Structure 1
Amino acid sequence: MSGFDGVSAHSDEPHRAGLAGRLNWLRAGVLGANDGIVSTAGLVVGVAGATTSATAILTAGVAGLTAGAVSMALGEYVSVSSQRDTERSLLAKERAELATSPEEELAELTAIYLARGLRPETAKLVAAELTEQDALSAHAEAELGIRPDELTNPWHAAGASALAFTVGALLPLIAILLPGPGIRVPVTFAVVLLALAGTGALSARLGEARRAPAVARLVVGGALAMTITFGLGQLVGSSAL
């Protein structure tokens, strides 16, 4: 019974690994949305402090949204491309070593499993069977922590980053344009702080962290950013008159 349970538990590992990957993507999406919310909210609230013109606010908001989304996408593309290039180089080196020194590589893999606590005969058997099944994957995962068939696509990463930022940025932009001039700033403050509280709670849940500190950091930071930019907007607007 215990042996059967052990097999069942091991069969869950790929699902847990896949779930961890999806959670990392979701967490990155939440962070991208937070960036869009805070940066765009600060921008449009600052412009609203200087002028009541909806056209000026819309122009600044759309410009900020576009620039931010492009910047996020470009940064993510460059970062993931560099990481992917490094991983490909390491895999190529590992592939060459397997072709030229298979016995040494098998001994190296056996030593890795020995270091992880397996008995010598078990470590040798595991290393041999994994090498026979897929030598490159076995060595890449054990030695490098890389799955050859799961390299991150930089275009996917860039698109996801830009989309998350855009979704977050649309919230304060819509919130400040719909109400009248007299209440647009308070409404935007309320909407943005509620959104940040929600994303803070979600990010804490995904990271299995305490909710209150995560929410407090985002809400206080967002409120501070909007207060500063609104004050600067009023100062610049009054100076220009």
Structure 2
Amino acid sequence: MAPHPSEPHNGGLSGRLNWLRAAVLGANDGIVSVAGIVVGVAAATAERGPILTAGIAGLTAGAVSMAMGEYVSVSTQRDSEYALLAKERRELAEQPDEEFAELTAIYRAKGLSPATALAVAEELTAHDAFTAHVEAELGIDPDDLTNPWQAAISSAISFTLGALLPLLAILIASQPVRVPVTVVAVLVALAITGAAGAWLGGAAPTRAALRVVIGGALAMTVTFAVGHLVGTAL
């Protein structure tokens, strides 16, 4: 998931955790999506061929969809950042005094005394006025803008890795226990990814893990029932 322009994203620990959390969520999507597909097909047929075909199709479509969605989303984010940076550069060129006063006011609002805020604004402006203003006013590091290609590739990879688990589980297990083995493997994986995502986001791991496990179990139950009904009808 891409940072909001009002949030700092200087490539430090917070930025890395955001990318890691997005990767965990992408893997979670891959697990649930492909698990639902292969369990549904397995309910309709015992043959491995259709299950493999459906699983690979779901994995490919999901990975491409995730990548395109992230690319479009982050590209829009980057366009917004460029527009904000251009606006700030223009304002600095056209009304430097007003911008300096705004920068000083920002540091006063943070709790600095008027004299200290003025000194900080003067020193930062003398060093790099543009960077000082965009970081203080917008929370944007102009040297570390969001990268749509990185987001797209990361999402595709994380989705694919997550999707491989149910696909391999249902293909490796023998026919009589194929679905139960896959369900158990998927629920365990969802509990892990749910807890990991919550931990990275500073939320309660147990509640988040339970939420994704219940959601995954519900998704597989529905797709299994649909697959069974369709398989019986055909």
Return the TM-score normalized by structure 2: 0.94
Question: Unpaired runs of 5+ in structure 1?
Answer: 1-13
**What SS does structure 2 have at the residue aligned with 1:149?**
coil
Mapped partners of 2:201, 2:82: distance in 1: 29
Cα deviations by residue, 1:171-197 (Å, 9 ceiling, x for unpaired): 000000011111110000010011011
CA distance in 2, matches of 1:170, 1:207: 25
Alpha-carbon distance between aligned partners in 2 of 1:122 and 1:59, rounded to the nearest angstrom: 67
Count of residues in Structure 1 that have an aligned counterpart in Structure 2:
226
* Match among 198, 215, 228 for residue 222 of structure 2: 228
Summarize the alignment of residues 59-138 of structure 1 with structure 2, pairs less than 5 Å apart. 59-138=53-132
Residues 27 and 161 in structure 2, CA contact (< 8 A), matched pair in contact too: yes
Task: Specify the alignment match of 1:202 in structure 2.
Answer: 196
CA distance in 1, matches of 2:86, 2:120: 23
Q: For structure 2, which runs of at least 5 residues remain unmatched after alignment?
A: 1-7
Of stretches 207-216 and 147-156 in structure 1, the one that deviates more from structure 2 is 207-216
How much is the aligned-residue C-alpha RMSD, in angstroms? 1.3
Q: For 1:182, what is the secondary structure of its paired residue?
A: helix
Offset from partner CA, 1:63-112 (integer Å, 9 cap, x none): 00000000000000000000100110110111111122222211110111
Matched, 1:172 2:166: yes
Counterpart of 1:35 (choices 29, 38, 46) is: 29
Distance in 2 separating the partners of 1:98 and 1:204:
41
Q: Residue type of the partner of 1:37?
A: I
Deviation at 1:156, TM superposition (A): 0.5
SS in structure 1 opposite 2:19? helix
Pairing 1:193–2:187 present? yes
Aligned partner of 2:229: which letter?
A: L
**CA distance in structure 2 between the partners assigned to 1:61 and 1:181 by the alignment:** 16
**Is the Cα contact below 8 Å between 2:11 and 2:144 reproduced in 1?**
no
How far is the alpha carbon of 1:17 from its aligned partner?
A: 6.7
**Matched residue of 1:222: which SS?**
helix
Q: Is the 8 A contact 2:26 2:162 kept in 1?
A: yes
TM-score of the aligned structures, taking structure 1 as reference length: 0.91
Task: Give, as a single letter, the amino acid of the residue that structure 1 aligns with 2:46.
Answer: T
Write the deviation string for residues 89-145 of structure 1: whole angstroms up to 9, x where unpaired: 110111111122222211110111112221111111111111111111110011111
CA distance in 2, matches of 1:133, 1:182: 70
Output the CA distance in 1 between the equivalents of 2:97 and 2:156: 47
